[in-house]
Amino acid sequence: MSRIFSTFLLTLGFALSSASLHAQIALGFDIEVSDPARLVAAMDKYTESQTGASIPATAILSQYIANGTSTATHNLAVFYPSVEGMDEAFLRNALSADWNEFIMEFGAASDTVLNVMFEPTGLTNGNTAAISGELYASRWIVVDVTDEAAFASEWQELVDSDPSDWDVNASLWRIIAPGNATGTHLVSYQANNFSELLSVRNSERPGLASFQRAVTGISSAYSISMVNTVKTWTNP
Q: Which numeric CATH code is attached to 11-235?
A: 3.30.70.100
Q: Would you put residue 178 in left (φ > 0), alpha (ψ -120 to 50) or beta?
A: alpha
Instruction: With beta carbons less than 8 A apart as the criterion, state whether 4 and 70 touch.
Output: yes
- Is the per-residue pLDDT at 18 higher than 60? no
Q: Of the candidates 159, 229, 221, which has an alpha carbon nearest to the alpha carbon of residue 194?
A: 229
The upper half-sphere exposure of residue 230, i.e. CA atoms within 13 Å in the direction of its Cβ, equals 23
What would the pLDDT profile of 61-118 be if each residue is shown by its tens digit? 999 999 999 999 999 999 999 999 999 999 999 999 999 999 999 999 999 999 999 9
- Is the per-residue pLDDT at 9 higher than 80? no
Q: Of the candidates 193, 168, 172, which has an alpha carbon nearest to the alpha carbon of residue 65?
A: 193
Average pLDDT taken over every residue of the chain: 91
What would the pLDDT profile of 168-185 be if each residue is shown by its tens digit? 999 999 999 998 888 999
Arithmetic mean of pLDDT, 140-146: 97
CA distance 73 to 64: 5
Quick one: what percent of the chain has pLDDT higher than 90?
A: 87
Q: Is the dihedral of CA 29, 30, 32, 35 positive or negative?
A: positive
